[in-house]
Structure 1
Amino acid sequence: MALNFEKALGIHQHTLGIRSRRTEILASNITNADTPNYKAKDINFKDALNAAKSGSGMSLNRTDTLHKPGFSSSMAQNGVLYRTSNQPDTGDGNSVDLEVERNLFMKNSMEYQASLDFLNSKISGLRMAIKGQ
């Protein structure tokens, strides 16, 4: 009998990738807190999860059969959007609020760990079922 990992692992396989991507985006915001005209970005988790589950995106055309198939998606398709600033412009055009970014980074880290724990428990259950325990 074949094992369907999509059903066995649920959405946790997708949430790890999205949380990882959000970590990169939030870290970029924190890194660029002093960069003039930098606009804070964030990811729309719900839209990104729906896109990951459906496999939607934009295919790239191949000009030769020897080329490997490519796949790309825009910021909007990935759920990445610019965040509206909570504070008035300081004159440099930067919209990053360092406290907000740190809080979101910490929250995202905890949610990533929770998804990882869920995925580990699912894999442990599958391992025990395969061994017949």
Structure 2
Amino acid sequence: MAINFDKALGIHPDALQFRVQRAMVLAGNLANVDTPGFKAKDIEFGAVLEQQNSRLMSSSGNHMGSVDRLGDGSVKYRIPQQQSTDGNSVELGVEQANYAENALAFQTSFSFLNMKFKGLARAINGR
């Protein structure tokens, strides 16, 4: 019997890809914290999840599809809590907190994926 990795691994590979893409967006915000007129961006998890669910429902047998979200409208501008005089909407503390939260979520998804692989290895070895 063949192993279907899409079913065996679940959403975890897609979650890792989402976290990588969000880390790139947040790192771009942090890199431009002093750039006049730069607008902070973030990827909305809810929008990506909704889009993935609609793809899952519309596809027959295809897992979740690729998670290439940087051009489909899920990247949104962040509304700053306090306006700056130079038009930059990046708030250093907010971006650092979001980056740390995203890194923690990445590690969590990676741990779940690692457990899935260990379970598959045990099943293959007959344990």
Counterpart for residue 118 of structure 2: 124
- Give a deviation string over 1:8-65, Cα, whole Å, max 9, x none: 11111110000010111111000000001100000011222444563389xxxxxxxx
Counterpart for residue 62 of structure 1: none
Instruction: For residue 73 of structure 1, report the CA deviation from its aligned partner.
Output: 6.3
Instruction: For residue 130 of structure 1, report the CA deviation from its aligned partner.
Output: 0.5
Q: Name which of structure 1's ranges 13-22 and 3-12 shifts more when overlaid on structure 2.
A: 3-12
Specify which of 81, 90, 94 is matched with residue 96 of structure 1. 90
Separation in structure 1 between the aligned mates of residue 25 and residue 47 of structure 2, nearest angstrom: 16
- Cα RMSD for the two superposed structures: 2.1
Separation in structure 2 between the aligned mates of residue 6 and residue 82 of structure 1, nearest angstrom: 32
Counterpart for residue 78 of structure 2: 83
Identity %: 45
Superposition pairs for residues 7-46 of structure 1, below 5 Å?
7-46=7-46
Specify which of 114, 120, 123 is matched with residue 108 of structure 2. 114
Instruction: For residue 123 of structure 1, report the CA deviation from its aligned partner.
Output: 0.5
Question: Which amino acid in structure 2 is aligned with residue 108 of structure 1?
Answer: N
Task: Please state whether the residue corresponding to 2:42 is helix, strand or coil.
Answer: strand
Q: What is the TM-score with the length of structure 1 in the denominator?
A: 0.80
Separation in structure 2 between the aligned mates of residue 109 and residue 49 of structure 1, nearest angstrom: 19
| Alignment length (residue pairs) | 117
- After the TM superposition, list the runs of 4 or more consecutive aligned residues in structure 1 that deviate by more than 3 angstroms: 49-53
Specify which of 50, 54, 71 is matched with residue 74 of structure 1. 71
